[in-house]
Amino acid sequence: MAIRDVEVNISKQSLPGNTGVGTPLVIQGKAGTAVEYTECRKIEEVVAAGFEAETPVYKQCKAIFAQENKPKIVAVCATTGKISAELPKLKNHQFRQIIPILGADDTLQEVMTYVDTTPDKMVFTSVKKETDVAQTKSDRLFAIVYNGKSTGVEGAVVGASAGYKAGEITYKNLILKGIEPEDLTEDKIDPIHKAGAVCILKKAGDVVTSEGYVTSGEYADVIDSIDFVVNNIVEKTQKLLNTSPKIPYSNTGISQLEAVTYGVLLTAYDQGIIGDTDKGASDFSTGFMKREDLDPEDIQKRIYNGGKFSFSVLGAIHYTKINGLLTV
């Protein structure tokens, strides 16, 4: 039997011109000593949890806390086993961005095998070359190709983004504090982007991310947006079922279900996740079938399968070309 009474399935349709996120978790695999899941609000609490200043977990957390839009909480954890085996044990904790410190027997592919089954997690990692993630195409993997002098580059990216709400940012041109950029030419940058990874550059005096892709080639903010909508519909519909003595299997009861979905989509619109139509109206819709149009067997089994919704993700400007006219 399913643990939840609500299931939301979404299919993604790519259209031309159409396209806060959570608590980060820094987790060490194959550690000498296990450290249980601990939420920290400042770097001193990371040390108190068991991670000294020279440890990789500390360095990632320091980079997170150094950013201007850092999240309020950073979670840390260490396991003596594999990260891929530890993560399912932490499923009741509310974290989203995972920075894995891979141990001797850990592999990124094993971590992604688990994360790809989740509805709300993303992995942030740095690699030495784009071919290191060429075979790991995922909507839930943000990879940074970095060979610079700084440590904690993935922590800096997470720290610069996790404090925002979904819909408020794109992952391109995130300003990173405390990170040295790389001086790369276009012939080095293009293969990185083609692999669905990003690099760290200096533009207009700021150290920034070069793009906002996940390794599938999708934009990371699109994944944030989809996750926000789907998970909020699930959560709020489940809460309606929990708090209502009875939702009648009538058009009135069906309208209650539809109102929840509509409310989530309206919030997403107000938050900048959903765009407008060409006529200026909010570009989302709901369509919940009435009782008389449903399968009698579903009604007898108390299953409602007639709900649908659609929305377009509001895109972002990543490049601009401005033409000028000089009169002499």
Strands (E), the chain: 25-28, 35-40, 74-78, 97-101, 122-127, 141-145, 200-203, 206-209, 284-288, 307-311
What does the alpha-carbon distance between residue 72 and residue 113 come to, in Å, rounded to a whole number?
A: 29
Residue 4 clears pLDDT 80, i.e. is over it: no
The neighbour count for residue 161, using CB atoms within 10 Å, is 29
Give the chain's count of helices (H) and strands (E).
Answer: 9, 10
CA angle 169, 10, 118 (to 5 degrees): 75
pLDDT of residue 325: 79
Residue 1 clears pLDDT 90, i.e. is over it: no
> Which residues on neighbouring strands pair with residue 101, listed in sequence order?
28
pLDDT band at 11 (very low <50, low <70, confident <90, very high): low
pLDDT in tens, 222-280: 999 999 999 999 999 999 999 999 999 999 999 999 999 999 999 999 999 999 998 88
Residue 227's φ and ψ, nearest 5 degrees, are: -60, -40
Residue 47 clears pLDDT 50, i.e. is over it: yes
Residue 64 clears pLDDT 60, i.e. is over it: yes
Residue 83's φ and ψ, nearest 5 degrees, are: -60, -40
Pairing of strands 206-209, 97-101: unpaired
What does the alpha-carbon distance between residue 82 and residue 38 come to, in Å, rounded to a whole number?
A: 18
Residue 302 clears pLDDT 50, i.e. is over it: yes
**182, two tokens:** 């790389």
pTM, to two decimals:
0.89
Residue holding tokens 């020279």? 54
